[in-house]
A and B are shown apart, each in its own frame.
Chain A
């Protein structure tokens, strides 16, 4: 069994199922270190997929699955660089995270996100690359990027458009409000709703079911039904970078980083 124990995440495989666990305090914010470790995972995924049927992504932190991109790191780094260098750095980060997420999205095995608590922004986008989302009843989903003057940058809109109705995408994106699990299931985002603290157990039961099918047939079915929206993903990076160059973003990031509001993801 191949295993990896990193600072922000770990993985291992057992009985045909790979488990990738996120464990970066306080809420699995995705910054440069998480990206590096996700890239290591993506590099190992081809080999892991040859010997396994399913992948489960989950978080061992009480706060939730992931609060998304590490906005503090983004703000601090962009403060230390001149504007063009900061913009180049953002584009490079986005292209790298897209590489990782595309690799998970098109992996020839069944992928399951077991989520609870905060599943926001980039964390939501990480869950969206999975074939199935199993959520406990305390999970919350949100795209708060517009408050910063941005759009989601880790492939969220193209993947949501692929999977859901456009009206739901607009609701999430344009209001910045969060959905609870019941709402998320109603709109078709979540495949199973389970009790508090039960998402990993339910995901394991689902993965166990998946291992009963022929791997190649499942991979063929997945490839047929789940195309990667590559052109829109590329366009998303361009739009994100155009918006990032605007002064409102720096102000939005500063406001967020310095905020003591109870709901800091709202404008």
Chain B
């Protein structure tokens, strides 16, 4: 989107009444407070794992380490997915009318799913990692009981159903207002005049459609697992299951990132004094992304040499190609918005802007990691957590935290604190990048990921973990400063 695209977009106010608007705000604030609480708990679990790897928490046995690893991975991905969905739902109410009832159902379903996952992992010690590769759940080596397997899959099932219903409702609302083709800016793509599709609507629709595909894969995996678990004659194929699981997992993470980008498209322009609209280039890029996102997951299976060779090629080519529209359209657009603009730098704009920077730097790592020849040396080393923590912690998490900050201030009218915002962002970035660079450094020195403790021949891993603890401390201070400001505003908004 260039300067000529700077035509103001005036979203139709779709909320029926002020009372409905208040209910949406209250619900979204509740979501943000839950997200903060989960974030803190999951962050502490991450810290515990790094302490264990640094040989500073010897009481953490491997059984609990892997249970915590499973909860940390699934929990963080799920927490920020619902955070993004809640944020997008709230912003979407300015354009369309999603169902408040479904949004409340999503909250309850998510809480139930979380309780089941916590029971399976922290109580039942279910420790397969987030990706529960077939047939590991059935080979517990005496660690987790059968009920933990059931609770884990029940939790995933509840979350899968809940999030699918939630996604479908948002798509319904979008289709009702714009038609599905309209929400995907197809008239713009064809060069036809017609109702304008705001970029936020386009990105949200593209993201949600990709999300549906991921959830469909998750449902298939769960049904196949269930059939085997119940003792039927079904004997699942590990390679097929691995493909389905990574299709689901990679898709979910991608969707979360794209929903975060949708928030950037919506929240950043007003803070820069510029406006955006959807042109043909933007429409083409996001429609293309829906297709490409479905095939890039193959890069998770490069080290399965028996995977058909064509799929390996598609994995690398798709991963390279998808980075071009992301960089040329979205990242460039954000730079355009800020360049020489009278930006109102506050917690929201800082976290949105530097969240996009995290997306860009994580993208550099993603391209490297999706190169089969490089993946041969980096797969399942600490390089990989470096990449996805950059994408997540320093990317989409910052975008959603920016939304929460915006929401808290909008609800309470508390003025910006630019000095505090700069300090918070500085500590967050310093600690966060220190953390991810130490992960990458470990990967470059052949340290595997998902090791509860490093054996003697990989003793350097413990040293790197100790160094990273310094950066984690800085990061935690930054997060606490953020929460001191934003969580207080959200709390006030809840009780108002």
Pair from one complex: no
Interface residues of A (CB under 8 A from B): none
Interface residues of B (CB under 8 A from A): none
